[in-house]
Amino acid sequence: MFFKEGEIDCEKFETAVLFASYEERCTNVAKDLLEKGFRGTICVMFCNDLPLQRTETHLNQIKRLFESRHSVIPVSYHNPIPAIQFAKNFNSARSALIDVSCFNRGNLFPFLWASGLGKDKTAEVTFAYSAPEHYGDWLSADYDEPKNIVGFAGGWEFARDRILICVVGFEAQRALLVIQASEPSKVILTVGTVPTREQFCERNERTVEAVHGSKNYEIREINVSDPNLCERDLQQIISAFPSGTEINFAPLSTKISCLAIWALWLRDNKIRLWNAQPKNYNQLNYSKGNSAPRYFHVVWTDS
């Protein structure tokens, strides 16, 4: 498979899956779909185990946009089961647009796994992403014990070497916890290139340096704004290791890089993914503003 970025034809989609959150950008794709004449149904997921005032405001905005053509799906930041249950019903949809902008990783990856996307090569699937203009001084704190993401626990085969490719974002402590928990024999930290904002790249570099510290971690550059180029860059890192090496990922950067890692996993289900779920988010100042939505249509191939 590969991702083809471009404009969308809303008549192709029966369903759009959105994720309402405390970030104002969570309404951006909904507004764009309405302007483009989307006539399908809207499924709005939201987490009901965090303070809801800002999330409810955005959720109600989306509901008003689509009046009677919406359904609301409560899920959890700390328990992927509700998202998995919804995804198992969702997998019957023949055509869908999925906005990944404000999905948290603990729901996004289990949702993709349980939906069966990638198994049915005839489905019309497009991913939407709207980047913020600014991020807050801090994003999250106080993390759950790192663990394998549901559905992405790898092959559980004996391997002499365990490699962790930590796709670093802005949260140094989160990355360090995953490194410690996964007990890798080698760690590769990635610096994201071609950011949506230049200051994002500078901040990412500072975070990587904080994680790197005095440890002998290798640092590699990857493209985090194009899912195809990101997948290519990560595949090049993987290909340097001999067959039988256990490949682990910590997908902590952009949601676009998360889509690239999901595409890699579709090629090799032995890849293992890790996450350290935050207990606290900077809900009042996580991000500000938003950019025009980008749309990535999935093109299924056998190669």
- DSSP one-letter code for 48: S
Same domain for 11 and 114: yes
Same domain, 247 and 269: yes
| Domain assignment of residue 140, yes or no | no
Q: Are residues 219 and 263 in the same domain?
A: yes
113 and 160 part of one domain: no
Q: Identify the CATH number of the domain in which residue 193 sits.
A: 3.40.50.10770
In this structure, the answer to whether residues 45 and 65 fall within a common structural domain is: yes
From the list 172, 174, 181, the residue with the least C-alpha distance to 272 is: 181
9 is a domain residue: yes
What pLDDT score does 214 carry? 63
| H-helix or E-strand spanning residue 212 | helix 198-212
The tens digit of pLDDT for each residue in 49-91 reads: 877 789 999 999 999 999 888 899 999 998 999 999 999 887 6
Of residues 228, 236, 237, 279, the one with CA closest to residue 78: 279
Q: Is residue 93 part of a domain?
A: yes
Q: What is the pLDDT of residue 159?
A: 63
Question: How far does the chain reach from its first CA to its final CA, in angstroms?
Answer: 8
CB neighbour list of residue 126: distance below 8 Å, 6 or more residues apart: 8, 13, 96, 97, 98, 295, 296, 297, 298
- For 98-140, the DSSP string reads EE-TT--HHHHHHHHHHHTTTT-TT-EEEEEE---SEE-S--E
The enclosing domain of 125 has a CATH number of 3.40.50.11700
236 shares a domain with 175 = yes
Judge if 272 and 293 occupy the same domain: no
- State whether 81 and 167 are in the same domain: no
Residue type, 126: T
What domain count does the chain have? 2
Same structural domain, 159 and 178: yes
Residue 246 lies inside a defined structural domain of this protein: yes
Assess if residue 236 is contained within a domain.
yes
The length of the chain, given as a count of residues: 303
Residue 11 sits in the same domain as residue 110: yes
Task: Read off the pTM.
Answer: 0.95
- Range(s) of the domain holding residue 85: 2-135+285-299
> For residue 58, is it within any domain?
yes
Distance CA 202, CA 30 (A): 30
Domain membership of residue 234 (yes or no) is yes
25, part of any domain? yes
Are 70 and 190 members of one domain? Answer: no
Residues of the chain with pLDDT under 50: none
Helix, strand or coil, per DSSP, at residue 42: strand
- pLDDT, residue 91, reads 67
**220-254 residue pLDDT tens:** 999 999 999 999 999 999 999 998 899 999 999 99
The verdict on 16 and 116 lying in the same domain is: yes
